[in-house]
């Protein structure tokens, strides 16, 4: 690879520029090459130099620096040095050999390419169809059980729900899990959480969720992608990534973290200048905390791949995201206009409870309970750290606001001085 081809592997122009300068620096030592790899030690900000190596087979690279960009500037710089003046041949260091061995072992452990003969393709298709039919029958049985459960709840009345013990809730949830209807299991968990939390609105909220479950049970046979997703039928991310992508400048402004006791989830809403709002999700189990799919608050240019469904689409984040300068994000001029924009999404997915919402030039009321627009209409805002940060950032002056609306209050997530780029606060 010549220098130009090496620079084209850089994830963005910043890495390419830094790598070009670094390639000619005097901070390198122990550089070398073999038939299969390049390696070298590069002085960094810490006590020990960074260990950098490149597999010449597929140009995969490894570096001990903390950069989250791949390849990092050190790996690109090492290849630039080699392109301009071949590195000296030498004996492969142990740390490079160990890395190469791990890569070869991982490649060997990957399953062999599938048999593409017509017979094998037909067998796989039949097996897939058999699995799909079994899953469909299991979900159908789960929906029938849920309908009976909902009828029992309606007959006993909402007032009796707080007295139900954990075993009662666990029984219906386990039945949904056994039926492979994880969407229904999650919805039952949500109802239980509302009842357990109590508060002045618990009965209203529980009735709303139970009504949504009843509607979902009635529509369970529909092929609509929204209904299937709510039941728990999912599409593999690999399949989504293999589909069409949306190229845009994305600004991740809102996020929400949750923990069901087994899995932690972070949901992130990003606004695209051509495509509007999209949502990306990442999960982590075993007590780990999931990293947001995008660097929160950092505008990027790149491609995302939409899942089947309706706006705001869930997306899988693609590769080659390039950081962009922060720019203003437009917001509706009033809360009335902002809420009117939710009509179509609500019709398309009536089970969606959180909606990204924004409004220009709002101010906080004296009791900090509402955000009031230029027409004097207010929307209740959650009193939390994000609101405190917004007041600190804006100094009490009017500001553009974006947050997640649950039908009762806004969870603030980002603010901006009118006409300026937004800053995340939640």
309 Rama class: left (phi>0) / alpha (psi -120 to 50) / beta: left
- What pLDDT band is residue 301 in, cutting at 50, 70 and 90? very high
Residue with token string 């492979």: 180
Given a cut of 90, whether residue 117 has pLDDT beyond it is: no
Given a cut of 80, whether residue 171 has pLDDT beyond it is: yes
Say how far apart CA 181 and CA 177 lie, in whole Å. 6
Given a cut of 70, whether residue 286 has pLDDT beyond it is: no
Task: Please name every residue paired with 283 in a beta bridge, in sequence order, or none if there are none.
Answer: 265
CB atoms within 10 A of CB 130: 10
- The pLDDT > 70 percentage for the chain reads 98
Say how far apart CA 377 and CA 241 lie, in whole Å. 42
- Residues sharing a CB contact under 8 Å with residue 365, sequence separation 6 or more, in sequence order: 371, 372, 378
Which segments within 61-158 are labelled E, that is strand? Answer: 61-63
Q: What's the rounded mean pLDDT across residues 351-378?
A: 95
Asked, as a colleague might, if the bond just before 312 is cis with ω within 30 of 0, I would say yes
Q: How many CA atoms lie within 13 A of 209 on its CB side?
A: 22
The model scores a pTM over 0.75: no
Say how far apart CA 150 and CA 168 lie, in whole Å. 13
Q: What's the rounded mean pLDDT across residues 332-353?
A: 95
DSSP state at residue 158: G
DSSP state at residue 253: E
Q: What's the rounded mean pLDDT across residues 331-360?
A: 95
DSSP string, 194-220: HHHH--TTHHHHHHHHHHHHHHHHHTT
Residue with token string 């061995």: 101
Task: Map residue 171 onto helix, strand or coil.
Answer: helix
Do residues 410 and 379 lie in contact, with contact meaning Cβ atoms separated by under 8 Å? yes
- What pLDDT band is residue 1 in, cutting at 50, 70 and 90? low
| H or E element, residue 315 | strand 313-317
Q: Which of these, 236, 127, 218, 144, lies nearest to 181 by C-alpha position?
A: 144
Say how far apart CA 270 and CA 78 lie, in whole Å. 35
Say how far apart CA 23 and CA 10 lie, in whole Å. 13
Residue with token string 């905390």: 289
CB atoms within 10 A of CB 333: 14
Tens digit of pLDDT for each residue in 132-153? Answer: 899 999 999 999 999 999 999 9
- What pLDDT band is residue 346 in, cutting at 50, 70 and 90? very high
**Summary mean pLDDT of the chain:** 91
Tens digit of pLDDT for each residue in 243-285? Answer: 999 999 999 999 999 887 777 899 999 999 999 999 999 988 7
């Amino acid at each position: 690879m010549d220098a130009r081809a090496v620079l084209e592997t850089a994830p963005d122009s910043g890495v390419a520029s830094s790598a070009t300068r670094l390639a000619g620096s005097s901070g390198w030592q122990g550089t070398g090459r073999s038939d299969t790899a390049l390696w070298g030690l590069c002085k960094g900000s810490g006590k020990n130099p960074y260990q950098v190596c490149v597999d010449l087979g597929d140009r995969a690279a490894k570096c001990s620096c903390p950069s989250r960009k791949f390849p990092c500037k050190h790996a690109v710089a090492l290849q630039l040095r080699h392109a301009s003046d071949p590195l000296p041949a030498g004996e492969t260091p142990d740390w490079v050999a160990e890395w190469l061995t791990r890569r070869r072992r991982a490649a060997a452990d990957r399953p062999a390419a599938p048999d593409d003969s017509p017979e094998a393709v037909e067998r796989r298709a039949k097996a897939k169809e058999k699995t799909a039919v079994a899953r469909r029958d299991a979900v159908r049985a789960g929906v029938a059980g849920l309908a009976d459960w909902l009828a029992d709840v309606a007959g006993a009345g909402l007032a009796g729900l707080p007295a139900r013990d954990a075993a009662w809730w666990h029984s219906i949830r386990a039945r949904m899990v056994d039926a492979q209807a994880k969407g229904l299991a999650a919805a039952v968990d949500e109802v239980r959480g509302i009842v357990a939390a109590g508060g002045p609105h618990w009965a209203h909220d529980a009735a709303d969720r139970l009504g949504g479950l009843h509607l979902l049970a009635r529509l369970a046979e529909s092929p609509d992608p929204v209904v299937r997703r709510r039941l728990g039928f999912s599409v593999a991310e690999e399949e989504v990534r293999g589909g069409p992508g949306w190229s845009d400048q994305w600004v991740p402004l809102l996020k929400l973290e949750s923990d069901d006791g087994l899995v932690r989830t972070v949901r992130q809403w990003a606004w695209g200048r051509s495509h509007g709002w999209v949502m990306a999700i990442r999960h982590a189990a075993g007590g780990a905390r999931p990293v947001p799919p995008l660097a929160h608050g950092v505008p990027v240019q790149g491609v995302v791949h939409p899942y089947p469904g309706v706006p705001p689409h869930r997306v899988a984040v693609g590769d080659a995201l390039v950081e962009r300068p922060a720019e203003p994000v437009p917001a509706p001029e009033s809360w009335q206009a902002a809420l009117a924009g939710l009509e179509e999404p609500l019709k398309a997915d009536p089970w969606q409870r959180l909606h990204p919402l924004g409004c220009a030039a709002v101010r906080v009321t004296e009791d900090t309970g509402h955000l009031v627009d230029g027409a004097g209409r207010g929307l209740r805002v959650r009193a939390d750290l994000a609101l405190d940060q917004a007041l600190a950032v804006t100094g009490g002056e009017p500001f553009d606001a974006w947050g997640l609306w649950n039908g009762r209050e806004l969870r603030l997530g980002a603010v901006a001085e009118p006409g300026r780029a937004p800053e995340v606060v939640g």
